[in-house]
Copies of this chain bind each other. A is one copy, B any other.
Amino acid sequence: MPKLKWGLIGGGEGSQIGPAHRLGAQADGHFEFAAGALDHRPEAGRDYAQRLGIAADRAYGNWQDMLAGEAGRPDRVDLVTVATPNATHFEITKAFLEAGFHVLCEKPMTMTVDEGEQIVHVAKLTGRICAVNYCYSAYPMVRQARAMVRAGEIGKIRLVVTNFSHGHHGDATNADNPRVRWRYDPAMAGVSGQFADCGIHALHMASFICDDEVERLSADFASTIPSRVLEDDAMVNFRMAGGTVGRLWTSSVAIGRQHGFDIQVFGETGGLRWASEQPNQLHYTPVGGRTQIIEKGEAGLHEDARRLSRVSIAHPEGFPLAVANIYCDLADAIRGEVRDGLPGAADGVRSMAAVHTAVASARAGGVWMDARPPMFR
């Protein structure tokens, strides 16, 4: 099975996200890194791409050149990853989809709901895959949780509780650091700070595991560091279409939580708990019974959990391989075997609708509002 060809936009030298995508695409041998426009400074990007082994004629100075260059090649890339600043995702993703490329877009897919709906339409029209990198959903034990819910193993879901709270922006004396400050500045981050940055991972996870969609929500936002315009802490209560009650807390001032992304799902006949810091275990409690620790790699897991694990039980697999799992699903999809779990444009636009709804609800004192994008109402 020959490798697929892959191109990257953004992820320049020194970025965190570039290496994660390069590892994700290459780790399992599915993709060959064939083209890139890695930096907003054309020369730096071309130079870096060549040092990473890209041929000179596919080391592009910007995404427009890459679009033009690749579109004309018989050996053009099969998949383009968009890992540029948030405000540019829409434009680039749309352009590549329209040119017939499959796209993996970093979250958030767009800045507005309308843009998100456009992407959904374009993907549908062109028949191209538009995936969004909600990579936590590709951990094997998250897939196991989803499969258990779908199989009815914990009954109808009553309640989902999820947190994505860290403390890495908790130092007010460091609030002027540009790598932190922009997230709370509407000019750069848009309408929301922490909820748009981390909260939407948790919201997607809730929908993903519960196999249901957020319908309405009520939000409470706070800027606990007063110089911040946008929220650094948020609580969102929600209801899903199937009636599930949801609770989501996200914070960037929770000092001591390193990467506190966890989720608990409570159904009529059992509960599940998963946490991203110990991602290889899933805790399951049948109603009236004892908590059981389900291990990645154990016998009898659901197919999606089995398929996306590489090494045997209790050998941990971590975040970069969750990203790699997204690429595994993409490779399968491009080759024709569509994996149901791959997050797509519909997820991207739902997130954006939730962000805008939460902002509006918080401003209105917590009023409950419809959180669905117009296209899904």
Contact = CB atoms under 8 A, between A and B. Distances in A.
Interface of A: 1-3, 16, 19-20, 22-23, 26-29, 33, 51-53, 154, 158-159, 161, 165-168, 170-172, 174, 218, 220, 222, 224-225, 233, 235, 237, 245, 247, 249, 251, 253-259, 264, 266-268, 270-273, 276-280, 283-288, 290-295, 298-299, 310-321, 365-368
Given A3-B53, A298-B290, A311-B320, A254 B366 contact: no
A277 B1 contact: no
B320 A310 contact: yes
B256 A291 contact: yes
A167 B266 contact: yes
Copy number in the complex reads 4
A263 to B, nearest CB: 12
Nearest to A315: B319
Contacts of A311: 16, 19-20, 318-320
B264 A254 contact: yes
Contacts of A218: 218, 220, 365-366
A310 B256 contact: no
A159 B253 contact: yes
A324 to B, nearest CB: 8
Nearest to A267: B255
Contacts of A267: 255
Given A292-B292, A310-B19, A257 B271 contact: yes
